[in-house]
Amino acid sequence: MTLRRQAVIDVGTNSVKLLVAEIGSSGVHPVIERSEQTRLGRGFYETHVLLSDAITQTAGAVAAFARTAQEHGASPVRVLATSAARDAVNRASLIEAIERASEVKVEIISGEQEAELVFRGVATDPQLDGRRLLILDVGGGSTEFIVGAGKHHQFSESFDIGTVRLLERLRPADPPSKEDLANCRARLKEFFAKEVRPVMEPCLADRANLTLVGTGGTTTILARMEKQMSGFQREEIEGTVLSRTRIGHWMEKLWSLSVAQRREIAGVPGGRADIVPMGAAIYEAVMDQFGFGEVFVSTRGLRFGALMPQNE
């Protein structure tokens, strides 16, 4: 079997992520995975202008990851930018900075393209073979709901709710008060009732035959906390099932601690300690709104899908 080594760099609202993988007939096999939080979307949601220092930091992270990929024999290297880049009025400045620093072309992908890549990546997991899926991809700036079965999705919708966006809107105290938690839950309940449920309800009529899958940073961190894992171990995280009861447990814990105290929890990356409660709150809201008792954790998604052969 001939293997090709390729790489994709994902420029998100909160972090830049690298996946270098061997690609063959048996699928995508990760070789190197890296993540650097640059918080590209900080201060973004009032003006939709990316801050110059956030652009510089992000461009530097992409350039470093591109060098790492090339040093390990990966070709080509794809750079994909998502929510914040799509919505920014000064997206051209971001593209120019990244391409100048890394000498790699930037692709700003649409929400529909992002949904298809996420679904294709998650669906490579043999544990999910034959199931109808509702994939929830909670990012920093937006949350994607993707429904499908087989190799391609049938429905997707992106909503303006994400961990960084929610943190900047709520601005809870440190540590959060009980009122902060109640306010977060109330706002999410209202948002889901008004914005999400009317769009999603027709797709979710047969919930009994639908598996809720979480992909992205929030569920990875929740799984790491659940298993008291200090680092990222894909094989241990992949396929973790989190019940609604355990999501509730982590909600109460995360929202009772300061940012510094959250950093002491095994599995919580220091740079994400401020936004983890927001991600957990979004999952809690989805499960409550649509009656899901558990969520299956996938470590696959956008980057896996981006490296799969296009004719599959």
Q: What confidence category does residue 120 fall into, taking pLDDT thresholds of 50, 70 and 90?
A: very high
Per the CB < 8 A criterion, the answer to whether 45 and 169 are in contact is yes
pLDDT tens-digit profile of 142-155?
899 999 988 788 89
pLDDT of residue 196: 94
Spatial separation of the C-alpha atoms in residues 2 and 10, rounded to whole Å: 26
Instruction: Tell the residue number behind the tokens 């959250």, with chain if given.
Output: 262
Quick one: average pLDDT of 227-252? 94
Spatial separation of the C-alpha atoms in residues 257 and 81, rounded to whole Å: 33
- Altogether, the residues listed in the chain come to a count of 312
Per-residue tokens: 145: 């709901």
pTM score of the predicted model: 0.92
**Does pLDDT of 96 surpass 80?**
yes
Strands of the 4-11 sheet, one edge to the other: 27-37, 15-24, 4-11, 77-81, 106-108
Spatial separation of the C-alpha atoms in residues 60 and 64, rounded to whole Å: 6
Quick one: average pLDDT of 115-138? 92
Q: What confidence category does residue 308 fall into, taking pLDDT thresholds of 50, 70 and 90?
A: confident
pLDDT of residue 83: 85
Q: Is 175 left (phi over 0), alpha (psi -120 to 50) or beta?
A: beta
Give the percent of the chain with pLDDT over 90. 78
Q: What confidence category does residue 310 fall into, taking pLDDT thresholds of 50, 70 and 90?
A: low
Asked which of 24-28, 34-38, 195-199, 264-268 is least confident by mean pLDDT, the reply is 24-28
- CB neighbour list of residue 17: distance below 8 Å, 6 or more residues apart: 9, 10, 33, 34, 35, 36, 303
**Which domains, from first to last, does the chain contain?**
4-109 (3.30.420.40), 125-302 (3.30.420.150)
**Does pLDDT of 11 surpass 80?**
yes
In the three-class reduction of DSSP (H, G, I as helix; E, B as strand; rest coil), residue 160 is classed as coil
Quick one: average pLDDT of 125-130? 91
Spatial separation of the C-alpha atoms in residues 18 and 79, rounded to whole Å: 9
